[in-house]
Structure 1
Amino acid sequence: MRYVYLLLLYICYVASNGDKEDEIEYRKRRIIEQLMNTRPVLLPGYQLVTRHVGIDVFMYRSYRTVAVVFYPVTNDLSDARFTFQCEELHLNNIGSCSPKEVVIHLKQGSYPAVNPDGYNFPKTFVNPVLREEPIHTIELLSNGTNLTYSIPNPKPGIWYALAYIKWQDPRAQKVEQQGLVADCHTIWYTDLQHKVEESSVLINCYTSLNVNYATLPALYKCKAKDNIEPIILELNVINTTISSANITVRVQSESPPTKDDYLIYCAFDPTLNNTQIINFHTHPTAMHFIYLDIIEGNTSDIANCESYDLKNFEENQNRSLTDLMRDDTDRFFTFAYGLPTTDLLDMTSLVNVTSSEIRVLRFDVNQFIDIGGSLVIEASLLMSAGYYGGYKRELLKGSLLGFTEDNQFFKVVVCLSVGHASIPLQSGQCRFNDRVTQALFVLNSTDSDSIYDKIIIPYPEAGLWYVTIRLFCDSVVCPCPTSIDGTKYYVQTEKGDEDFSTFSNVTRNGETDCNATVLLSLTSGSCISGKCSNNGNCALNTFSGLVMSYCSCSAGYGGWDCSDDSRVDSHAYMLVSIFLLTLSNLLFLFSIYVATIRLYYVANGMKTHGSHHN
């Protein structure tokens, strides 16, 4: 008989839970249908491209709890308008749902790499703020209010939005009993509308362009060839007698230029010379937009187009481009790139460089299938046998390698860019037209700590990546005392002293021609090389067909690789917590004792306390 009661109890429990789940599903489906029936307001000239309805948004705990969607952005757009709306689903009749703070990150080319929980990025990570594609951050409340975010002249490709409820420290949140409080779920609606730029004229950048002064402003576009040579743009201006105002030239790749976003920006006076030649570096194979306009008044704060002549591109003449070979595996986001070779056992590339050339290496990160992992780039100078395994210099007392008649000092500057190749500079920076950025690596043969370097790029952008390597000889980089005229360096006769007290009067000329070998490794893997230190597990988040890897950390640990222990409780605190929890369980002994002596338990079928008295 007891089993019959248990069976009936189980059936009632399942039925009640089933009814509750059906009610929750019905309420959720009804609100989603209301959202789907809502027609977005289209502005004149805009077209609805895509929308996502009824996406669940959760409190941020790790990348396991984020919601991700993507938007296709086409070419020749003058504006992209992203609409966001969040609201609360109240799935029971208890209490009410308060609006929550929802954060949305928007980025072109790959998933936004952010740390909402405040953990620091590992030291080997490239700072996401310094990456070429910026992260747009939008915050809104889940109160059903629409929010529109507009991006003028957006770069074409796939844009990704990552959404979550604003992070709160779980240690500061109160514990609530499920079923006794309001059951609230946050859902997200988003769409994309765009406006096409119809005024651009397709031209050939490699031939002269006739420009009618009377028709300015004008927007032209042309496609660059698949090489790293600069474009020599020749402008022939007619009808220059209409006005004496100068002409400004803005150039941008893949999208029309704006006031703040361009490859080059210069001005020239067509009345002085109606033919103007402008040289600029390009994004190979990409469409480039050229915007010509008239400007009145003083142009002293704008670069003169005469400065973009061939003299600034002499260093570009000895650049060589090599496409790297891809080595794939059957695991998520696990691949490597190296110089074309038949040696399939080692993808580490030995790149030979000389001071008279710039080596440019190119590899491709594929959309969707490659962007969910982390790209690891390592580089080292291959030194003599005195260096340990090619990674450490010979052991000396001082911090510098002995400067002798045989030992050369040299420096290698390595640049990394997406979509274009930069020019490494002696200063340890990289230049692309007017833009100067910090180099990825500066490898210096004088210091064992700087002949090797490593960087990790989480969620790399899809597209063509360029690694540019340039060698500088000791004639310009030697940290040595020089003779009076500065043309020769004193030779060190004894090893080890940093104060150069052992330098003799013997001098030699600094070398202007030198060569070196750089060990280069380009690999990708889930999480951080497939693991999360020793304090977490590497997992995959699959959301709407998109896949990204993330680290699921053990209690207290955090960060991208679970190596941050700043919030781990001390051993003493954990021992006290366990001890107090154990003591709290001892309080049940009294209840057990009372229940036992009063027979408050089921025994002998259905015999209870009520049936033991005659």
Structure 2
Amino acid sequence: MGRAGTGTRGAAVAVAVAGPLLLLLLLLAGAPPAAAGDAKKSDVRLVSEQFSQSPQKLSFYSWYGSARLFHFRVPPDAVLLRWLLQVSRGGGPACTDVEVTVYFRYGAPPVINPLDTGFPANTSVQPSFLIKMLQSNASVNVSHPAPGDWFVAAHLPPSSQKIEVKGFVPTCAYIFQPDMLVLRAVEVFILEPDVPLPQTLLSHPSYLKIFIPENTRELRLELRGCATNGSLGCPVRLTVGSATLPRNFQKVLTCVSPSWACHLLLPSPPWDRWLQVTARSLAGPHVSVAFRAVAALTACRPWTPNSQHLLPSGTNQSYNASAGLLPPSPGSRGPGRRSRLGSGPFCLMSYPVLREDMDVVSVRFRPVDRVSMLVQSAVPSVLRLHLNTGMDSGGSLTVSLQANQTAVTNNTLVVVCVNAASPFLSFNTSLNCTTAFFQGYPLSLSASSRQADLVIPYPETDNWYLSLQLVCPESPEECEQTSVLVETTLYLVPCLNDCGPYGQCLLLRRHSYLYAGCSCKAGWRGWSCTDNSTAQTVAQQRVATLLLTLSNLMFLAPIAVSVHRLLLVEASVYAYTMFFSTFYHACDQPGEAVLCILSYDTLQYCDFLGSGVSIWVTILCMARLKAALKHVLFLLGTLVFAMSLQLDRRGAWNMMGPCLFAFVVMVTMWVYRCGHRRQCYPTSWQRWGFFLLPGISMAAVAVAIYTSMMTSDNYYYTHSIWHMLLAGSAAFLLPPREEHTEPWACSQKLTCRYQICKSHREELYAVT
């Protein structure tokens, strides 16, 4: 079944469970039709559209890259949006059903926190809208969705700390696919400003829309001349705006009595877009409701400060650095006065902003030809940030403000609001930063706190506005002659502070959409790897590095035994493994204790190759093959390991397969010798009791630790034990030297530096 998560404050969102075919039938049969005009005429036509994306395999959650992201675009004039969510399971009967968490958000990828970790300071995070799927199918309905980008993210429960070896545990695949069905109104009535639009409602709603131009300060919607079956009455409900997730700011106006004016006032509606309005009758069926809808827009003109003072001047010229920033003189048409065109008073000071694209999801915003912006008490100062390219929602918007140290007094306060779609302009009546359909982010600068910072992860795709105004709560008269210069630092960055010293900023991709996330290490967690609740100290990091590197010195034992018994090829392999395993783990460490002599991928490949070949040569050496055959198998096995590790470096059977083949060869040779000699091989009980059994026991414990006991917390200890057990077992399992071979045979040298080598076949000595 599907279970809804964080609510949406009245948003028309429903969650249901059904099969895909049933959901499609419900969408087509139960969709709310839109109608206007006479009942005998046909209703407003609706068309259905379906959008689908390729399925993705879900992963257990460990960081944001574990979630699978889907990007949809909802067309304009949509009246109903339905997501069909399907999860299929594969991998055999050992795989069970797991809970799938699905997030939805409008305008940007959802900001999720399944691990309940901390966010960086000054980061503003809104709750996510989510559902938890316990069955294979579910659906989510959204009435009157906002047009534009919608994102769906899904993941499995948080991953366990156990390190599982691929091939030893069943691999379960959970495939997730969302489909989007949209009902869109083909015929929508256009509501023009100050032009009454007659409407007649029966049992079906009427869909209207009005275009909100830029620099609109206020929108007033009013119903006039309401009549129900010819008599006075206005049982009409108006729903203004589109539904968004996770927060919904649709406005609802219910009109019942005709004795009072039925109107809705919206301050700072979203600029430069169509605004949807739905009128629905509250009367019973077959009751006609007629009215006239009227929309009135209050416009204001932005005033752009003069920048001529910033142009280069001669050596004998001088100017006031803030002269061009001041508003017009009282005798001119300045802020708060009527403009010459009569289109409305100046309501804001608009500062042009230069957008500088520096890299992928990396943008710098700065006011044109200036560093600071002037803030006064008469009207707000506004900066517009263009984040509407469709590729800007995958990073973090950082806002840093700093006021002049001498301009801000104890009685003055610079109030700042960061809003999307339209700026907040009502500082004189409220300081809550709320516009018609958006709850802004408030900041403030004062004498005690002259700097303010804000971080917005994954900002919505839209135009963002930074509004600042000077406020004097105790003595408003003091602000009339006061102005403050505020320096702004505005960036869109992939990751905040590049994820810090204990994280890596990774660029993720879903088709052509790019977004960034932080992959943390050394126990650090959080959105930007700033949560140190489970972090390792520097001392712990150094101890872990020493354990994983110095434990490889145990390979000195099999190297010495091999040289002593004239097994020079085996000694070379063990030395190779010891070297690359040491430096691979020195490079693999997080935090400060890191040393990489080669690239990480090269060191990892050489370490895995050396480990596999060491096991291969040890087992074949125990088989006591002829020298020529043994060296041929050494070479062939090394080539097979090199190929298999290139195909799948983490596959357990890529390493275990050749080792099992070597084990079969060894057992075959031992059985042959047992039958040929009519006695057990090896023949000495001392060999079994003091060498073979301890070596086999150490190898068995090492395999058990490697396959079933390692976790993220104990990795440094268990993997170090694995190193020592593997090297120790090789030292015990190596066969003894031949009876006619003297120890250190090739190390005997004459004083004249000639070497005596012995030919066992001819029993001759030669000087070379």
Instruction: Quote the offset at 1:427 in angstroms.
Output: 6.0
Instruction: Quote the offset at 1:107 in angstroms.
Output: 0.8
Q: Deviations over 1:190-249 (max 9, x none)?
A: 211112246742221332334558899644222122222323445431546844544455
Letter in 1 for 2:270: H
Give secondary structure in 1 for the equivalent of 2:532. coil
- Measure the CA separation in 1 of the matches of 2:177 and 2:473: 60
Q: 2:155 aligns with which of 136, 154, 164?
A: 164
- Measure the CA separation in 2 of the matches of 1:210 and 1:295: 18
Q: 1:432 aligns with which of 432, 435, 438?
A: 435
Give secondary structure in 1 for the equivalent of 2:391. coil
1:220 aligns with 2:208: yes
Question: Structure 1 residues 439, 231: CA separation in 2 closer, same or farther (over 3 Å shift)?
Answer: same
Q: 1:136 aligns with which of 99, 120, 129?
A: 129
Give secondary structure in 2 for the equivalent of 1:96. coil
Letter in 1 for 2:266: F
Greater share of strand residues, 1 or 2?
A: 1
Residue of structure 2 in register with 1:124 after alignment: 122
Matches within 5 A, 1:535-574: 535-570=502-537
Residue of structure 1 in register with 2:403 after alignment: 381
Of 75-84 and 328-337, more deviation after overlay is shown by 328-337
- Measure the CA separation in 2 of the matches of 1:546 and 1:242: 55
Instruction: Quote the offset at 1:475 in angstroms.
Output: 4.3
1:516 aligns with 2:539: no
Letter in 1 for 2:117: Y
- Measure the CA separation in 1 of the matches of 2:534 and 2:170: 30
Residue of structure 2 in register with 1:453 after alignment: 452
- Measure the CA separation in 1 of the matches of 2:389 and 2:464: 13
Letter in 2 for 1:289: Q
TM-score, structure 2 normalization:
0.56
Residue of structure 1 in register with 2:266 after alignment: 280
Residue of structure 2 in register with 1:300 after alignment: none
Residue of structure 2 in register with 1:605 after alignment: 628
Aligned partners of 1:414 and 1:468 also within 8 Å: yes
Instruction: Quote the offset at 1:178 in angstroms.
Output: 2.5
- Measure the CA separation in 2 of the matches of 1:383 and 1:526: 31
1:322 aligns with 2:304: no
- Measure the CA separation in 1 of the matches of 2:438 and 2:177: 40
- Measure the CA separation in 2 of the matches of 1:535 and 1:587: 31
- Measure the CA separation in 2 of the matches of 1:582 and 1:338: 49
Question: Structure 1 residues 436, 110: CA separation in 2 closer, same or farther (over 3 Å shift)?
Answer: closer
**Corresponding pairs, count:** 488
Letter in 1 for 2:491: T
- Measure the CA separation in 2 of the matches of 1:519 and 1:382: 8
Question: Structure 1 residues 573, 359: CA separation in 2 closer, same or farther (over 3 Å shift)?
Answer: closer
Larger radius of gyration: 2
Instruction: Quote the offset at 1:61 in angstroms.
Output: 2.2
Aligned partners of 1:213 and 1:238 also within 8 Å: no
Instruction: Quote the offset at 1:83 in angstroms.
Output: 1.2
TM-score, structure 1 normalization:
0.68
Instruction: Quote the offset at 1:420 in angstroms.
Output: 2.1
Letter in 1 for 2:494: S
Residue of structure 1 in register with 2:79 after alignment: 78
- Measure the CA separation in 2 of the matches of 1:243 and 1:179: 78
Give secondary structure in 1 for the equivalent of 2:189. strand
- Measure the CA separation in 2 of the matches of 1:117 and 1:53: 28
Give secondary structure in 2 for the equivalent of 1:329. strand
Residue of structure 1 in register with 2:217 after alignment: 229
Instruction: Quote the offset at 1:512 in angstroms.
Output: 4.6
Instruction: Quote the offset at 1:156 in angstroms.
Output: 0.9
Instruction: Quote the offset at 1:581 in angstroms.
Output: 6.5
Instruction: Quote the offset at 1:137 in angstroms.
Output: 0.9
Q: Higher relative CO (CA 8 A, sep ≥ 6), structure 1 or 2?
A: 1
Residue of structure 2 in register with 1:52 after alignment: 53
Question: Structure 1 residues 592, 41: CA separation in 2 closer, same or farther (over 3 Å shift)?
Answer: same
Letter in 1 for 2:157: K
Instruction: Quote the offset at 1:253 in angstroms.
Output: 2.8
Letter in 1 for 2:48: Q
Q: Deviations over 1:64-123 (max 9, x none)?
A: 332211112112222111111122332xx7x72222322221111111111222211112
Q: Deviations over 1:124-178 (max 9, x none)?
A: 211223xxxxx3212224x6x21111112111111111122221342xx3x4432
Aligned partners of 1:80 and 1:193 also within 8 Å: yes
Question: Structure 1 residues 522, 99: CA separation in 2 closer, same or farther (over 3 Å shift)?
Answer: same
- Measure the CA separation in 2 of the matches of 1:124 and 1:219: 41
Aligned partners of 1:353 and 1:359 also within 8 Å: yes
- Measure the CA separation in 2 of the matches of 1:137 and 1:215: 33
Aligned partners of 1:211 and 1:237 also within 8 Å: no
- Measure the CA separation in 2 of the matches of 1:570 and 1:381: 38
Instruction: Quote the offset at 1:54 in angstroms.
Output: 3.2
Q: Deviations over 1:350-384 (max 9, x none)?
A: 22132121233322213432111111111222232
Aligned partners of 2:189 and 2:208 also within 8 Å: yes
Question: Structure 1 residues 237, 360: CA separation in 2 closer, same or farther (over 3 Å shift)?
Answer: farther
- Measure the CA separation in 1 of the matches of 2:548 and 2:100: 36
Give secondary structure in 2 for the equivalent of 1:372. coil
Q: Deviations over 1:337-361 (max 9, x none)?
A: 23333x6xxxx4x221321212333
Question: Structure 1 residues 607, 59: CA separation in 2 closer, same or farther (over 3 Å shift)?
Answer: closer
Give secondary structure in 2 for the equivalent of 1:424. coil
Residue of structure 1 in register with 2:444 after alignment: 442
Q: Deviations over 1:314-355 (max 9, x none)?
A: 9995422637433323411121223333x6xxxx4x221321
Aligned partners of 1:360 and 1:469 also within 8 Å: yes
Q: Structure 2: any 5+ residue segments left out of the alignment?
A: 1-19, 30-46, 284-294, 301-334, 337-343, 568-617, 632-734, 741-768
1:192 aligns with 2:192: no
Give secondary structure in 2 for the equivalent of 1:471. strand
Question: Structure 1 residues 607, 432: CA separation in 2 closer, same or farther (over 3 Å shift)?
Answer: closer
1:149 aligns with 2:150: no
Greater share of helix residues, 1 or 2?
A: 2
Question: Structure 1 residues 570, 336: CA separation in 2 closer, same or farther (over 3 Å shift)?
Answer: closer
Residue of structure 1 in register with 2:170 after alignment: 182
- Measure the CA separation in 1 of the matches of 2:543 and 2:737: 45
Question: Structure 1 residues 426, 169: CA separation in 2 closer, same or farther (over 3 Å shift)?
Answer: farther
Letter in 1 for 2:189: V
Give secondary structure in 2 for the equivalent of 1:126. coil
- Measure the CA separation in 2 of the matches of 1:87 and 1:214: 44
Q: Deviations over 1:285-312 (max 9, x none)?
A: 222233445558xxxxxxxxxxx9999x
1:335 aligns with 2:335: no
- Measure the CA separation in 1 of the matches of 2:738 and 2:629: 11
Question: Structure 1 residues 267, 469: CA separation in 2 closer, same or farther (over 3 Å shift)?
Answer: farther
- Measure the CA separation in 1 of the matches of 2:253 and 2:157: 40
Q: 2:384 aligns with which of 358, 362, 368?
A: 362
Matches within 5 A, 1:18-29: none
- Measure the CA separation in 2 of the matches of 1:532 and 1:167: 21
Give secondary structure in 1 for the equivalent of 2:65. helix
Of 79-88 and 261-270, more deviation after overlay is shown by 261-270
Matches within 5 A, 1:256-335: 261-263=249-251, 265=253, 267=255, 269-270=257-258, 272=259, 279-281=265-267, 282-293=269-280, 318-320=346-348, 322=350, 324-335=352-363
Residue of structure 2 in register with 1:98 after alignment: 96
- Measure the CA separation in 2 of the matches of 1:421 and 1:594: 78
- Measure the CA separation in 1 of the matches of 2:630 and 2:185: 84
Matches within 5 A, 1:477-492: none
Residue of structure 2 in register with 1:206 after alignment: 194
Matches within 5 A, 1:391-470: 409-422=411-424, 423-424=426-427, 428-433=431-436, 437=439, 439-444=441-446, 446-447=447-448, 450-470=449-469
Instruction: Quote the offset at 1:425 in angstroms.
Output: 5.3
Question: Structure 1 residues 243, 213: CA separation in 2 closer, same or farther (over 3 Å shift)?
Answer: farther
Residue of structure 2 in register with 1:371 after alignment: 393
Cα RMSD for the two superposed structures = 4.1
Q: Structure 1: any 5+ residue segments left out of the alignment?
A: 1-37, 130-134, 297-307, 388-392, 394-400, 404-408, 478-508
